[in-house]
A and B are shown apart, each in its own frame.
Chain A
Amino acid sequence: MTSTVVIDKAAPSRPVQLRSMSRDRAWALKWSYFFLTLFAIFSLVPPLYMVITSLKTSAEISAATNPWWVYHPTLSNYVELLTSNQFLTFFRNSALVSIFVVTITMLISVPAAFALARMRFWGSATLATGVFLTYLIPETLLFLPLFKMFAAFGELTGIQLINKWYVLLIIYPTLTVPFCTWIMIGYFASIPKELDEAAIIDGASWFQTLTRIFIPVAMPGLIAATIFAFTVSWAQFLYPLVFTTSTDQLVLPVGIVTTLIKGDVFAWGQIMTGALLGAAPPLIIYAFLMDYYIAGLTAGATKG
């Protein structure tokens, strides 16, 4: 008798509890999506507003209409910028600087990371720590002495480097090489020792071990480092602002800020179009290689 009562009691209570649990879950999920939408709006408002403004004419921008809506969409801003020689020069300078800097960075940091990860030599541990420390030094600490150094170098040797876009090829590696070396050390160190021992036994030289084994195996790390180097050199603003002033030597970010903003007359349609085109290369890379991008981002602190 008592047992049936217990069953009677238990029978309805169990499904109820399950239902309340799943209701909690559904509730939590709903709140999660609510917050996600909120944060996504917060993150995407500036880029979306760039797109909105870039599709407007100056007349529509200065009219007192709803700024969040495009009434007469036009591509004239894009056409104007992409046919302007000045803008194309900025784009070319940026592309050249980024591509060369990525190449230089890889040529310096991959062999160095290999040596630091595998070939223990006197001072290698200290050097690895030193590389990481240099990554922590911000560019805002070094721009004044560097500027003075290059000015003095120009006076001393007659080779004028300031106000030439290629001076950035010398300076940008200070930003990219330490971090790329650091994450490549992490990737190389995670490769099993047996692999390169086998290669050495088979008669491979150190150089062959690097090119035939380490680089192919650590390819994901290499891609992440390449993306990092490209993004940093594309986005850098302070160094080109300090080192280049003639309009034909400027890179994209500085070019847009200094030439499109003319006194009080803000050509906002063009500025936003320029900013969007300037943001496009990193965004496109990110859209296709998001996983490598994130791997590079998290590698700095999670590998050590």
Chain B
Amino acid sequence: MADVAIERSATAPRTVRKRASLRTALKRKSTAAFLMTLPLILLIALLVIYPAFYSLHLATLNKSMQRFIGLGNFQFLFKRETFWLVVEQSCIFAITAVVFKALIGFIVAHVVHNIPAKGQRKWRGMLLVPWVIPPAMSTLAWLWLFDPSYSAFNYLLAGVGVDRIPWTGETGWARFSVILVNIWFGAPFFMIMYLAALKSVPDQLYEAAAIDGANWWQRIWYVTLPMMRNIIAITTLFSLIVTFANFDIVRILTAGGPLDRTHMFATWAFRIGIEGGDIPLGASVSLFMVPILAIAAVFILRDINKRGNEA
């Protein structure tokens, strides 16, 4: 008892001092941490958050940006047929492209995973090339492949007796071309993500499934897919955002033509805001991307947090 009391009295001032020094250290630490994150906070606040809210303000102004017209820009957009075309096309392009990217990525990842390990690096290296080339540059190559009079694809098709195809000249084919280039560019990303996920599935699970007599389809359905569920979800949502907000491919391949039949939100906002000089109207067009992006972002965050808790 006495020992304890003595000890306590002896340690009491020390803890106080310790606490005080701890507090100053904490203070120092938090100021240091704040200073280290300050450039990041400033960058995000000034060049991301401020412009995001500024575009909300811009959307309520008239073309010369001098008069407040409330929701006038939106009313104007809702009455225009092109706007609804753009909404429809953006959704069609994004969803179709992402579905095919995911499918192709899944198949290719499996095929790469299937071959002997020492050849995998070489194939993976080749298959990832579309993702490495800047999209503006590779879309130029596609534009040349689709050229109305010198199309190299049409040359091949003529060899098997098919008529020349107006790749970027006709609504249906132009949409097909845009989606095809999107798939070509995006599928390797899925392939890499799935391959990483496939490698992390423990072999024992497949052995157990094989002992239970599962065929390849059951192995994919009951082992691979549940194990990869999270990665598939995150990759798909990422890609949905990127494809939905894509600018480079449509801009270079068709520039929105023929007759606005391949415009997406980004390219149409550029056409109106920069080329047409109506910044407020362009800003209101691009604001329509927000709801879909927000939904995707919420799901990604949920998945990533879940992943963090599991790990």
Binds A, one of B8-16, B72-80, B169-177, B185-193: B185-193
Q: Does B87 contact A (CB under 8 A)?
A: no
Neighbour of A298 across the interface among B108, B150, B193, B297, CB < 8 A: B193
CB of B132 within 8 A of CB of A283, answer yes
CB of A39 within 8 A of CB of B104, answer yes
CB of A39 within 8 A of CB of B127, answer yes
Report the 3 A-B pairs with minimum CB-CB distance, sorted nearest first: A235-B134, A138-B245, A140-B266
CB of B30 within 8 A of CB of A43, answer no
Chain A to chain B contacts (Cβ below 8 Å), 27 pairs? A33-B115, A35-B107, A42-B184, A43-B126, A49-B141, A112-B37, A137-B293, A140-B270, A143-B273, A144-B279, A145-B54, A145-B283, A146-B47, A147-B279, A148-B58, A174-B44, A235-B134, A235-B137, A237-B134, A237-B247, A238-B248, A254-B136, A257-B140, A266-B144, A293-B132, A301-B304, A304-B304
CB of A115 within 8 A of CB of B189, answer no
Closest residue to A235 on the B side, CB-wise? Answer: B134
CB of A268 within 8 A of CB of B269, answer no
In the bound complex, residues from chain B placing their C-beta under 8 Å from that of A137 are 48, 52, 293
CB of A144 within 8 A of CB of B138, answer no
Interface residues of B (CB under 8 A from A): 29-30, 32-34, 36-37, 39-41, 43-44, 47-52, 54-55, 58, 65, 104, 107-108, 111-112, 114-115, 121, 123-138, 140-142, 144-145, 147, 150, 152, 155-156, 184, 188-189, 192-193, 196, 231, 234-235, 238, 241-242, 245-248, 251-252, 265-266, 269-270, 273-274, 279, 282-283, 286-287, 289-290, 293, 296-297, 300-301, 304-305, 307-308, 311
In the bound complex, residues from chain B placing their C-beta under 8 Å from that of A143 are 270, 273, 286
CB of A237 within 8 A of CB of B138, answer no
Closest residue to A67 on the B side, CB-wise? Answer: B152
CB of B134 within 8 A of CB of A40, answer no
CB of A301 within 8 A of CB of B286, answer no
In the bound complex, residues from chain B placing their C-beta under 8 Å from that of A44 are 126, 129
Give A108 to B155 CA distance when docked, in angstroms: 51
In the bound complex, residues from chain B placing their C-beta under 8 Å from that of A181 are 40
Provided the pairs A137-B293, A282-B134 are in contact, do residues A114 and B248 lie with their beta carbons within 8 angstroms? no
Identify which of B104, B192, B283 gathers the most chain A CB atoms within 10 Å of its CB: B283
Q: Does A83 contact B (CB under 8 A)?
A: no
In the bound complex, residues from chain A placing their C-beta under 8 Å from that of B37 are 111-112, 115-116, 124, 127
Closest residue to B287 on the A side, CB-wise? Answer: A141
Binds B, one of A73-81, A217-225, A270-278: A270-278
Neighbour of A144 across the interface among B108, B156, B286, B301, CB < 8 A: B286
A34-85 contacts to B, CB under 8 A, are: 35-36, 39-40, 42-47, 49-50, 53, 61-62, 66-68
Closest residue to B308 on the A side, CB-wise? Answer: A304
Provided the pairs A43-B130, A298-B193 are in contact, do residues A114 and B43 lie with their beta carbons within 8 angstroms? no
B310 to chain A: closest CB distance in Å?
10
Give A127 to B132 CA distance when docked, in angstroms: 30
Closest residue to A301 on the B side, CB-wise? Answer: B234
CB of A144 within 8 A of CB of B269, answer yes
Give A146 to B293 CA distance when docked, in angstroms: 19
Closest residue to B300 on the A side, CB-wise? Answer: A136
A245-304 contacts to B, CB under 8 A, are: 253-254, 256-257, 266, 268, 271-272, 275-276, 278-279, 282-283, 286-287, 290, 293-294, 297-298, 300-302, 304
Contacts beyond the supplied A127-B40, A140-B269: 10 A-B pairs with Cβ under 8 Å: A42-B184, A109-B40, A138-B293, A142-B55, A145-B54, A148-B58, A174-B43, A237-B135, A237-B248, A238-B247
